[in-house]
Structures are given as structure tokens and as C-alpha cells.
Homo-oligomer: A and B are copies of this chain.
Amino acid sequence: MPAARNRLDPALLDPAVLPTSDLADLLAAVCDVESVSGHETALADAVEAVLRDQPHLEVHRDGDAVVARTHLGLDRRVVLAGHLDTVPLTDPPNLPTRCEGTGDDRVLWGRGTVDMKAGLTVFLALAVELGRPGSEPTTDVTYVFYDHEEVEATKSGLGRLVRNSPELLAGDFAVLGEPTSAGIEGGCNGTIRVDVRTHGRAAHSARAWRGENAIHAAAPVLARLAAYEPAEVEVDGLVYREGVNAVGIAGGIAGNVIPDACTVTVNYRFAPSRSEADAEAHLRELFDGFEVVVTDSSPGARPGLDDPLAAQFAAAVLARTGGAPRPKYGWTDVARFAALGVPAVNFAPGDPLLAHADDERVPVRELALCRDALRSWLCGA
């Protein structure tokens, strides 16, 4: 076991106070162990140390990912999963965290408070609490804390666990700690990127008639994008908004040369009822007559709210927060669980629109709200 470089103060994890604490101090401590993608080791060490202190958990470490599981012999298993890393700090740095306000109106500011150390903190508190006498869950629980979510997919710590030890991720249902303002956000849209390329013939711009302008040839591509009407697609009772957008355009060699190539990079966010192949076919039809090259593609995930465990979860959350399930628009790791056959939803404190924002901040009251909703569901009524 690697030495912990930043232990979390055991007083914050005291099982005597944890179940009724508002978790603000614990969240501040977790955030203040800076863990920008690629620098997760200190936080992974601290989390591992906490989990190894719990006699009811079996702990595994893989790189900077930590997995802890109860083995209560129950017939169902729920996975609570979240990433340890954050996007880079602002300049000047938005760490250490700072708390504003008083009482129930306190707000904790700083990198990671929303995406997604709030969810992580809730899961960590439940990992310590559930399994002790008087707090027995009615399902077994697997806690997954992983690295490299905020960077290219090939580095994903969750992807690495899928490759190395998929059995550690097995379960009947998963909750991912991406911010949802303590509501349930189900599934996620898929995403595909293509390059739409036009070609021409270079010439000196003083004799343009000897060339063919590839940027002018892209006019219909932009016209089709500008005229595109994105669909709204209902999947398992949730309505997903799609979108087809140019996210980049590039063409031109020099200020006196007719360009012989232009590339429009297009990102299509597609409802989880469509496959990646469907999405590609849709783009090829939209850009009929143009060269279309797929550069990146990830499937969506259906919300899975028809699953009985999911329905119980939704009821438990609804009872605490009053919030009905909504669709998740951004791609999240629920898609990786869906690919493993584990239905998954996003549920955690924090406004998703503040993820990665310079003014990232979370209302403290959402922490206990989420913990209490999860405990209520996991301990079954």
C-alpha cells in the first residue's frame, strides 16, 4: 500500500458523527487534496487509507483507482462510482476551498466542489457508515473511485478497471456521482465527431480562375448546419435534446493562395435510443455529397429507469428532494456501466452547469440531502 501523502483527518470520518454531519468539512478536506487529472495519487492514497480502516470493506487498488466492496451475502449489489480527478485550477487558484454564508445557506466554493468531489464525499461517508451495526444496507454495495475522467477516453481509470477487473464493477444498478443538483439524471446522449472535408485546387489568388476554392465549396455544409432542426427524442420516459454543431473549421494556406482543402469538424449529440451506426448514417445523409470521416464516437446510455431497483431509487430520491428524473445531456461514465450491462443514473449534489466553471460552488445542504436519500434507498424501508 502506498504511503498516504494527504491523510483525511479521522475526526471528519468518525462514525459517531458522520451520519448526521452536514459533510461540509469533509468535502472541503477532499477538495483541498488537489487532484487535477494525472495527479490523483495523493487523493487516491487518502481514500484508500480511509477504506482500508473499515472492517466491513474489501479494498482493491489499480493504479490510482480504488474499489471497496461489502460482502454481506445479499442478493443484489449497487455500485456507487465517481472520479477522483478534476479539471485544472483557475489562475489565481480556486483552492483551497472557501465557505460563504451561514447555517443551511452555506455554499462551498472551489475546484471540484461540483465536479465531482461532492458526490465522492457522499459516497465516502456512506462507505464508512453502511455495514456497521445499526446501519446495515439491504443490498451489497461497491464503491468505485477512479482517475483520469476529465481527459481523453483512452486514459480513463474506469476504462482500465473494465479491462483489468470487470468483475469488480459487477452490480444490478449503478449510481454515478456526476452533479445533478440532487436530482436524478438518467442515461446520457451519445456523441460522434466527424470531419466534413471539401477539396479544391490551389492557385495564386491573383489568378483565382485557375483554381477551385475549397472554402467556398464548404458553403452548403454550413448552410445545412445552420438550417438543421435538432430532434427531441423520448427514451424510457425521458426526453433527450439532440444537437448537430460545427465545433471547428479550418482552411487556407496563405493570404495569396486559393485554398485546396477545408475541414468542418461536426459534433452530433444523439439520443441514447440511436446506435453509433445510426448516428453516423444520419450525418452521412445530412452531408450527402461531401467526404465525411468519423474521428471519434461514443454510444449513449438509456436511462434504465424501467429497472425495479431504479424505480425504488427514484422513489427514494423523490421522497427526499421532490425532484423527478431528468435526462442527462452530456456524455458520462454511465455509458461504460450500460456497456457492462449495469443500468446507471447520475445523482449527486451540485449544479451541472457549474462543472468546470471558474465559479464552481455547491450548496452545502445538498450533501446531506443526497446522503440521506441514498441511505434511505440502500437500507430499504
A residues near B, CB below 8 A? 189, 191, 193, 204-210, 213, 215-219, 222-223, 225-226, 230, 241, 243, 245-259, 262, 264-265, 267, 269, 296, 329-331, 353
Contacts and interface: CB of A to CB of B under 8 A. Distances in A.
11 contacts: A189-B206, A207-B329, A209-B230, A215-B246, A216-B225, A219-B222, A219-B223, A247-B255, A248-B255, A252-B265, A256-B267
Contact of A223 (B223, B255, B269): B223
Given A222-B215, A230-B208, A249 B251 contact: yes
A249 to B, nearest CB: 5
A255 B215 contact: no
B250 A250 contact: yes
Contacts of A213: 225-226, 245-246
A216 B191 contact: no
User: How many copies, total?
Assistant: 2
Listed residue (A193, A225, A243) with the most chain B CB atoms within 10 angstroms of its CB: A243
Contact of A258 (B206, B209, B247): B247
Contacts of A251: 246, 248-249
Contacts of A269: 205-206, 208
Contacts of A265: 252, 255
Nearest to A215: B246
A329 B255 contact: no
Contacts of A218: 222, 249
Contacts of A296: 255
Nearest to A244: B208
A243 B329 contact: no
A255 B219 contact: no
Contacts of A254: 247
Given A206-B269, A209-B241, A247 B259 contact: yes
Contacts of A193: 255
Report, nearest first, the 5 A-B pairs whose CB atoms are least far apart: A248-B252, A219-B222, A208-B243, A206-B330, A215-B246
Contacts of A258: 245, 247
Contacts of A241: 207, 209
Contact of A216 (B207, B246, B255, B329): B246
Contacts of A189: 206
Contacts of A264: 215
Given A246-B252, A256-B247, A296-B255, A216 B222 contact: yes
Given A258-B247, A269-B205, A219 B226 contact: yes
A221 to B, nearest CB: 8
Contacts of A243: 205-206, 208-209
A63 B82 CA distance: 68
A215 B257 contact: no
Listed residue (A249, A264, A269) with the most chain B CB atoms within 10 angstroms of its CB: A249
Contacts of A329: 206-207
B206 A191 contact: yes
Nearest to A217: B226
Nearest to A208: B243
